[in-house]
Amino acid sequence: MRPIPIEIDGRAVAVARPEAEGFRFVAVKFDVWDLDGHAFATVAAAREAAAKLTSVGRPAARAA
């Protein structure tokens, strides 16, 4: 199985490399570097962790 790209807001930030018991996170952008090498049970879990990490320090969206 091939690595699966992880995109946040349309920007590739990592790939999830399939392993015997889940997926290994391989960061390709500095803002998710803290997750590099971590194991996740699913690609969705890896994507969620990346999304949480990239949202830190961003201004909150304002309601119109």
pTM for the model stands at: 0.83
Contact status, residue 9 vs residue 51, Cβ threshold 8 Å: no
User: Who contacts 26 (Cβ-Cβ below 8 Å, separation ≥6)?
Assistant: 3, 14, 15, 16, 17, 36, 37
What pLDDT does residue 64 have?
A: 47
Instruction: Name the band, by pLDDT with cuts 50, 70 and 90, for residue 54.
Output: confident
Domain count, the chain: 1
What is the structure's pLDDT at 56?
62
Nearest to 13 by CA among 57, 41, 49, 42: 49
Q: Is residue 33 part of a domain?
A: yes
Q: Is residue 60 part of a domain?
A: no
In a domain, 26, yes or no: yes
- For the CA atoms of 22, 25, 26, 31, the dihedral, rounded to the nearest 10 degrees, stands at 170
**In a 3-state reduction of DSSP, which class is residue 17?**
strand
Using the predicted structure, report yes or no on whether residue 59 has a pLDDT greater than 70. no
Q: Which residue range(s) make up the domain with 42? A: 4-55
* Mean of per-residue pLDDT scores for the chain: 89
